[in-house]
Structure 1
Amino acid sequence: MTFAEIEYQDKTEIPRNQVINLYSECGWSSGQKPEKLLLALANSHTVISAWHQNLLIGLGNTISDGALVVYYSHLLILPAYQKRGIGREIMKRLQSRYINFHQQILLSIDHAVPFYEKLGFQDSQGVTPMWIYDGNDIDVAKKHD
């Protein structure tokens, strides 16, 4: 597979079975809530998806107020396609839309921090990320270390 064989799309409507497959293969708990997941993607500010031979292999999305703040909520690549620059390309396409925003925010699993640092993200010194979370992705993420 070459980089040229990957097609990137910018649309929020993606076939249900492809979305569920991607999230399930990546071990994300949101894949266990397909209706909510599809609604969340449909209501995203931006969704960039990566395709190889009609297979959804990656996806990144944002939530934003459209002016000051953007939150990069999901970035996932099928395990067989990881470490090939697909996630980096999705993030670059997303970031290009929000380059002049006051705040660009994301939460990163510990082992992915170096990836995001290469894209310009840094630890938010003096700010503590906080959440109320209804999922088990953290346990899944530890299994992939």
Structure 2
Amino acid sequence: MRVVVQRVAEAAVRVEGAVVGEVGKGFLVLFCAEGGDTDEDARFLARKVANLRVFTDDAGKMNLSLKDVGGGALVVSQFTLAAQWRNGNRPGFSLAAEPAEGERLYLLFRDALAAEGIPVATGLFGASMAVSLVNQGPVTILMDTRDPR
């Protein structure tokens, strides 16, 4: 399971021109479930995202979490994070979870993040979306449950 977390001043997602989710100060979280990912992966990442200390404190150090600053999260599904790109020029997406399982894990991640006390907005699973953001820093963190680091 992969997420890309971007610290934002604001972010929004539109479907056919209509805003379906938006957030002020907080995170834009791009979410991708891959085949073999588990419920525990989703819960683990939700805990890590909620407690990720990348907001600056009074001393100017990245020392505060989303919880500490009262921020929200805009969670957007993005199966293309599972892209296989090394061979050829057209990426393959066969590592992404099947759509029904991907959506189930996406919703589980959303709910687990909300259970951490984070206000959560979402995109529309499976839709073609237009995502806008004002990235602060910029701060962008890639989290992958299969990464041994």
Q: Which TM-score band (shorter chain)? A: 0.3 to 0.5
Structure number with higher helix proportion = 1
Task: Report the TM-score, using the length of structure 2 for normalisation.
Answer: 0.34
Structure number with higher strand proportion = 2
Q: More relative contact order in 1 or in 2 (CA 8 Å, sep 6+)? A: 2
Task: Report the TM-score, using the length of structure 1 for normalisation.
Answer: 0.35
